[in-house]
Amino acid sequence: MQNKGAIRVFAILLALVSLYQLMFTYQTRQEENKAKEIAMGDQQIETNYLDSVANEPIYNFLGLKNYTYRECKEKEINFGLDLKGGMNLILEVRVADILRALSNYNTDPTFNEALQIAEQKEKTSSENFITLFYNSFKELDSEARLAAIFNTVELKGRIDYNTSNDEVLKVVREEAKNAIDNAFNILRSRIDRFGVTQPNIQRMEKAGRVLVELPGVKDPQRVRKLLQGTASLEFWETYELSELVQNLIAANQKVIDIETAKAELNKPVEEATEADQAEEPQTEEDATDNLLSQLDAESTAVDSLAATQSTRSLFSVLNPSQRQSGPLVGYALVKDTSKVNAYLQMDQVRALFPKNVRFMWGVKPLPQRELADGTASKDEIYELIAIKVSSHDGRPPLEGDVITSARAETGQRGDYEISMGMNTEGANVWARLTKANIGKSIAIVLDNYVYSYPTVNAEIKGGRSSITGNFTPEEAKDLANILKSGKLPAPARIVEDTVVGPSLGAEAVRSGLSSFVMAFIVVLIYMMFFYGFKAGTVSDIALLANMFFILGVLASFGAVLTLPGIAGIVLTIGMSVDANVLIYERIREELSAGKGVRLAIADGYKNAFSAIIDSNVTTFLTGIILFVFGTGPIKGFATTLMIGIATSFFTAIFITRLIFEWLLTKKVDIKFGTKLTQGFMKNTKVKFLEKRKIFFVVSGIALLVSIGSLATHGLKLGIDFSGGRNYVVRFDENVSATDIQAALADEFEDAHVEVKTFGGDNQIRIATNYMIEEDGVEIDNTIEQKLFNGLKAYLGSNVSFDDFIDNYRMSSQKVGPTIATDIKTKAYYSIAFSLIVIFLYILIRFRNWEYGLGAIVALVHDVLIVLGIFSIFYSIVPFSLEIDQAFIAAILTVIGYSINDTVVVFDRIREYLGLYPKREKVGVVDGALNSTISRTINTSLTTFIVLLVIFLFGGEVIQGFVFALMLGVLIGTYSSLFIATPVAFAVLEKKEKKKVTVKK
């Protein structure tokens, strides 16, 4: 083997990188286990402990850098929501809503009818919405002009009555794109404040859609409410701190009085201590001196947060600012902000401030500063800003919808600033506002958080402004984006909503991972049993290295590990075993031919290389298609599949070869079988081609039964494809699914409701399409209330609605009809496209379209029979056989596995035809097929055993998915031998007969 040194170096580097990345996960688990020990089951204590160590170093890498718990948490392996609980949302800012807002909600009947037609067409069309709208608009009235619709105040200067339709379309497209970009920025800023670990927000392929994942979120209702609300950018006048100093002092004293009174009421008289006696209320003079002497600069404010005067005062959690000019009231640690809010909202404290003062927090924590002892501040610190409400109706003087442009620029001194422009109406208000506040600050607020509070230097006329400050390039860009956000014209609607309870997620982790480990151990033992201790151990080392590398690369890429992702790893284990089996079977053949061990190993690797490359490439192509067309868990499955293919190829080809080279230099006697397995499936003489008509008849009957069932019985579509809501509910005692369905029928009126036992007899899954066409927080609340009302008799009289949501409803899922249509369309495309790509690859690789045809016929055969079995048994078996995204992933996995097997067979046929060109082709092809039986059965058996263990012990959530994979392994193995090759050979035979006839 050439370049052994380079391979060793690469393997060592890959191992070090994987170890480095996985150590973050190890360290966070260690810290979280420590938190569990301390908390002894108290969730609040556990949370408080982890919050307290969030910025404490827990991992030192080679003495080069300390990583805090928070930093380790950000770099650990991401578990999907199905494994750790949380919330997964797809939000959509509908282009139709944006167009309505841009038209100032024009009532023109042609305009509104065109929007409705476009919304219907969008469900089945791949065209973008604006094109569909314009085509519908022209169909309704060919003489209609868009300028009459969009000639609004907001678009003045860009659209007038003489603007052509094409020019209007250009402006509308640009405005729609800006609105979607702004919606994404607003959603991202909101999500950053939920306080969840490892939130994920990303744009989706379809314009206006955003995927949001919030692991461990504890209040789904709050999330829905905040994310679906419209956002409004606001400009507020502010109070100067100097105007509020006495009020703050009085508020601090009032809090001390209130807290002292509470403590006295709750404490027995005899337990008074010297500390209590020493803690006397401050006089006003002392408090004023203390306030004015605490801080003389912003950096000191940060330092002094560690030392507070009392544990029962306002100033113990809010450190006042000493900057007398400006609206900055003070600073608070992130953990203390809720306490500050509670103090300031007390009626007695609120009465001490002017009625028109409002307090708002800065949106971002201050950057870490160096403390007095030379260390860095570890806790996030937020600023509290004093806002002045100057209008009678409590609204801001100016809102963001007047902004026409905003961009980050470089000033004359090289610092970053934001240039901002307003429309005519805004410019007039802005001139009055800045004139009245020269020398004071104006706060820029979005969603009640202050993004900036620049000081006004002079009256600003014409609406052109420049905001300066100590901005980094990123901060300047962020603020410019916020200013461009203006007023979000359309709400973000939730079109897909999945909530997995933490206990269900924890169970999925236990069942999924434990079953996977069990299956993995079975494979390790099987390889040693079949190929002998030494050779089996080498393949086992490769499998273990493969697992280590997969997890390391997953962590490096920040990929998400889901239950389908675990199934992807299972498939890569099967492929890794397949590669080892191919190599070992080749080595055994070379040994049988009389070659020495060293030469047999060398030739075995060389002869197996082509088949391994082909099988890996075809499966990798399937993974790419899944990644492109899939979303959420399916994309995670594709990611693990592709990573696993790359790492399994490296470990099977190179790592094992290095180990064998080392063993040979040590003169170790290596056997590739045992007495029981040495002759397994050798010298078989199955007449595959001679019996092909029998196999065609068997497959034809199976296909007819499958197609008949699909035509009459159909498939059970999951809500991914049909739209609807799913709930998994667990009861304290066993319940009857039939009784619960009857109880829910009245609550959900005439809507379809299906109830099925899910796992144990005390757990059910409820599916309904009730009010699926409507959306909004109120609708979600109404449906969950109806669900609770229908189940109340089975929950017990002591269970409240909140208790039901927190402890009995284990998970929920909602998929709107529009996104269900999109998912179905993508599923069809992904299957069709994968078949085309595989056909083209085989055509190029084997230079023979007949091979490609045989492979495609076998794949269609496999898919139809799997679909037929799902159609026949979905109402019979005790686990879910719904057709959903996970099923599509399973079908594509079946395609990948089947084509992997088929390509190996084709590769051997091609080799035999090259070795024996003069022999009768039927005998040569049969010989090639018989020579692969041992490898085919070994690979299929090991993969099937892994899947069977996961099916039995992996939990009900993944059973349908794994069942499809099990069917695929069995049917794919059968079709590779009995369908793909006979079909290809029959076409080739017919082609050659035609050639002979033509020559005659």
Q: What is the band of 701 on the pLDDT scale with cuts at 50, 70, 90?
A: very high
Same domain, 734 and 760: yes
Q: What torsion do the CA atoms of 832, 833, 835, 841 make, to the nearest 10 degrees?
A: 170
Same domain, 576 and 691: yes
Mean pLDDT for 232-247 is 88
- Residue 608 gets which letter from DSSP? H
Query: Alpha-carbon distance 758 to 767, whole Å?
Result: 12
Query: Alpha-carbon distance 896 to 899, whole Å?
Result: 5
Q: Is residue 86 part of a domain?
A: no
Q: Is residue 664 part of a domain?
A: yes
Q: What is the band of 309 on the pLDDT scale with cuts at 50, 70, 90?
A: very low
Q: Within 10 Å of residue 217's Cβ, how many Cβ atoms? A: 21
Q: Is residue 495 part of a domain?
A: no
One-letter-per-residue 3-state SS of 126-147: CCCHHHHHHHHHHHHCCCCCCH
Contact partners, residue 224, CB within 8 Å, separation at least 6 = 494, 497, 777, 780
Q: What is the mean pLDDT of the chain?
A: 79
Same domain, 887 and 977: yes
Query: Alpha-carbon distance 828 to 838, whole Å?
Result: 16
Q: Are 184 and 210 in contact (CB under 8 A)?
A: yes
Q: Is residue 492 part of a domain?
A: no
Query: Looking at the predicted structure, is the pLDDT value of residue 999 above 80?
Result: no
Same domain, 791 and 849: no
Mean pLDDT for 764-774 is 77
Query: Alpha-carbon distance 861 to 865, whole Å?
Result: 6
Amino acid at 24: F
| pLDDT tens for each residue of 203-216 | 776 767 777 777 76
Same domain, 158 and 99: yes
Query: Looking at the predicted structure, is the pLDDT value of residue 370 above 50?
Result: no
Domain C-terminal end among 192, 212, 231: 231
Same domain, 885 and 765: no
Question: DSSP strand E in 222-366: where?
Answer: 233-238, 319-320, 328-333, 357-361
Q: Is residue 494 part of a domain?
A: no
Same domain, 523 and 633: yes
Contact partners, residue 691, CB within 8 Å, separation at least 6 = none
Query: Looking at the predicted structure, is the pLDDT value of residue 632 above 70?
Result: no
Same domain, 20 and 114: no
Same domain, 66 and 95: no
Query: Looking at the predicted structure, is the pLDDT value of residue 755 above 90?
Result: no
Query: Alpha-carbon distance 895 to 889, whole Å?
Result: 10
Q: Is residue 975 part of a domain?
A: yes
Q: Within 10 Å of residue 275's Cβ, how many Cβ atoms? A: 7
Secondary structure of residue 120 in the 3-state scheme? helix
| Max CA separation in the chain (angstroms) | 121
Residues above pLDDT 70, as percent of the chain? 83
| pLDDT tens for each residue of 149-195 | 888 877 777 888 888 888 988 888 888 887 777 777 777 766 765 55
Amino acid at 622: T
Query: What's the CATH code of the domain at 748?
Result: 3.30.70
Residue 449: alpha-carbon gap to chain centroid:
27
- Say how many domains are in the chain: 6
Q: Are 688 and 982 in contact (CB under 8 A)?
A: yes
Domain that holds residue 23: 4-76
Query: Looking at the predicted structure, is the pLDDT value of residue 23 above 60?
Result: yes
Query: Alpha-carbon distance 727 to 722, whole Å?
Result: 15
Same domain, 99 and 33: no
DSSP readout, 829-849?
HHHHHHHHHHHHHHHHHHS-H
Measured in degrees and rounded to the nearest 5, phi and psi for residue 671 equal -110, 150
Domain C-terminal end among 781, 815, 849: 815
| pLDDT tens for each residue of 261-290 | 877 776 654 444 443 433 444 444 444 344
Query: Alpha-carbon distance 660 to 340, whole Å?
Result: 67
Residue 307: what pLDDT?
A: 40
Q: Is residue 100 part of a domain?
A: yes
Q: Are 641 and 619 in contact (CB under 8 A)?
A: yes
End-to-end CA distance of the chain: 51
Tell whether the torsion through CA atoms of 172, 176, 178 and 182 is positive or negative: positive
Q: Within 10 Å of residue 496's Cβ, how many Cβ atoms? A: 25
Residue 190: what pLDDT?
A: 67
| pLDDT tens for each residue of 497-542 | 777 766 665 666 666 667 778 878 888 888 888 888 888 899 899 8
Question: Which two tokens mark 26?
Answer: 């190890």
Count of alpha carbons within 13 angstroms of residue 356, beta-carbon side = 14
**Polymer length of the chain:** 1000
Query: Looking at the predicted structure, is the pLDDT value of residue 863 above 50?
Result: yes
Domain C-terminal end among 396, 422, 446: 396
DSSP readout, 621-682?
HHHHHHHHH--THHHHHHHHHHHHHHHHHHIIIIIHHHHHHHHHHTT----S--TTTTTTTT
Same domain, 561 and 617: yes
Residue 229: what pLDDT?
A: 61
Secondary structure of residue 66 in the 3-state scheme? strand
Query: Looking at the predicted structure, is the pLDDT value of residue 708 above 90?
Result: yes
DSSP readout, 411-431?
-TTS-EEEEEEE-HHHHHHHH
Mean pLDDT for 795-799 is 80
Strand (E) or helix (H) holding 510: helix 502-531
Q: Are 875 and 716 in contact (CB under 8 A)?
A: yes
Q: What is the band of 387 on the pLDDT scale with cuts at 50, 70, 90?
A: very high
Contact partners, residue 1, CB within 8 Å, separation at least 6 = 7, 602, 605, 654, 657, 658, 661
Query: Alpha-carbon distance 315 to 254, whole Å?
Result: 11
Mean pLDDT for 803-830 is 73
Same domain, 789 and 772: yes
Q: Are 479 and 471 in contact (CB under 8 A)?
A: yes
Q: Is residue 719 part of a domain?
A: no
Residue 344: what pLDDT?
A: 92
- The residues that bridge with 561 in the sheet, in sequence order, are 79
Residues above pLDDT 90, as percent of the chain? 9
Which has the higher per-residue pLDDT, 387 or 800? 387
